[in-house]
Amino acid sequence: MDVQDPSLTELLPVLADRLPALLAEVRSALGEEWPDYADFLDEHQVEVAVAADAALRRLVTMAGASTSDNGIGPELFEEIGRIQWREGRDLSALLGAYQVGARVCWHHVSAAAVEIGVEPRTLASLAEAVFFFVDKLSSSSARGYVLEQSEEAATRERQRDELVGLLLSDRADQAAVRAAAARAGWTVPGEVGVVLIQRDSPIGHRVLARMDASCLVFSRPPLLGAIVPDPSRPGLRRRLGLTLRGAGAVVGVAVPPDRLPASLQIAEIAARLQRTGVLVDDPVFTDEHLDAIIVHREPRLLEALRGQVLGPLKEATPASRERLVETLGAWLRHMGDRQAIAAELHVHPQTVRYRLAKLHELFGDDLDDPEMRARLMLALSWGEPHAPAAEPVSSS
């Protein structure tokens, strides 16, 4: 069928006469459920009328040719779909409005076609053109909506990653953090804490996947974890303790956002101590182990201190040295209480008495020096140099 078909040619001026009534009916139909769209038609009457006239001419052309060769440019309606997403509107509302427009359009097109005596076959082609046209508009807008959604998600993810990089760096002053957070759509809390997860922990990966958008999940090898807002707020600490159990997790000290690098450094030390068995909590809350973290922060310094203060034991055999070291550590922890020492070490109090006598013989008056005791406490109370040897209760 050719567009020069007399019935179709005559249809164009009739539709042009009906155009104001058609737009008024569309505006009325939209007013109940989609008032914003109706207001748009009111505010842009001239532009809408020009576009509608062009659309009607296209419909007549499509009816006179093949609907598969429709020549509809998708760019405009893709952009409409993108705008729909950017403004936070539901795609179904836009597609519903298209359907309303299609019904009203078909009502006027069919009435005009009947008025001038268009043949049934041509009328069927017009109906097909109307709904094919609207289907293409809907598809283009849906594509634009999804593209904008995915592109915005990718952009937001990149901005959140940049924010994480800033927070974990030494450039995290308050102004920079607030600017980066605004770009990423993240509300800056009063305090933040870092949660570190062992990379090979399936439980840890599941926990991170379930965290909400207020938490900034990151993977920066070798680090894997999340920045958690206000970790000291009531209830959150207990929830973290429950959800992180079994994940090999470390929870850093709560600090202002611009001081997070210091908290991260403490958490990294705690993670190392967790891996080496010095800290055995599950998970490890660093604010409960600051003493151990301070002592073990620099392993070489700790070993140097131990080598210095335990010098009197260097001539002892390895087995004897281990027994004396574990006894010395227990003596310091229990402030000389022999019964408590015996209970901790699972030995007879007489064995404790024998070992303490040996220690006083080796260390002399140094064991009565408060400063020396303090140094020994630092060297021994957060993990002894060697694991204590097993010993029967009756041994001496």
CA distance 12 to 223: 68
pLDDT in tens, 289-326: 998 898 888 888 888 888 889 999 988 898 999 999 99
**84 CB burial (10 A radius; 0-12, 13-18, 19+):** buried
Place of tokens 């007549």: 60
Is 224 within 8 Å of 218 (Cβ atoms)? yes
Q: What is the pLDDT of residue 387?
A: 38
Q: What is the pLDDT of residue 7?
A: 64
Indicate the pTM of the whole model: 0.59
- DSSP for 164-231? HHHHTSTT--HHHHHHHHHHHT-PPPS-EEEEE--TT-HHHHHHHHH--TTSEEEEETTEEEEEEE-T
Q: Which stretches does DSSP call E strand in the chain?
A: 192-196, 216-220, 223-229, 250-251, 284-285
Is 355 within 8 Å of 336 (Cβ atoms)? no
Q: What is the pLDDT of residue 65?
A: 61
State the DSSP code for 251: E
CA distance 15 to 27: 17
pLDDT in tens, 214-270: 999 999 888 999 999 988 887 888 889 999 999 989 999 999 998 899 999 999 999
Q: What is the pLDDT of residue 74?
A: 64
pLDDT in tens, 54-110: 778 877 777 766 444 444 556 777 888 888 888 888 888 888 888 888 888 888 888
Could you give the strand order of the β-sheet that contains 192-196, starting from the edge strand earlier in sequence?
A: 216-220, 223-229, 192-196, 250-251, 284-285
Work out the pLDDT band at 390, boundaries 50, 70, 90.
very low
Q: What is the pLDDT of residue 216?
A: 94
Is 94 within 8 Å of 84 (Cβ atoms)? yes
Out of 24-38, 80-94, 358-372, 380-394, the most confident range is 358-372
Is the pLDDT at 346 greater than 50? The verdict is yes
Task: Find the mean pLDDT for residues 104-121.
Answer: 84
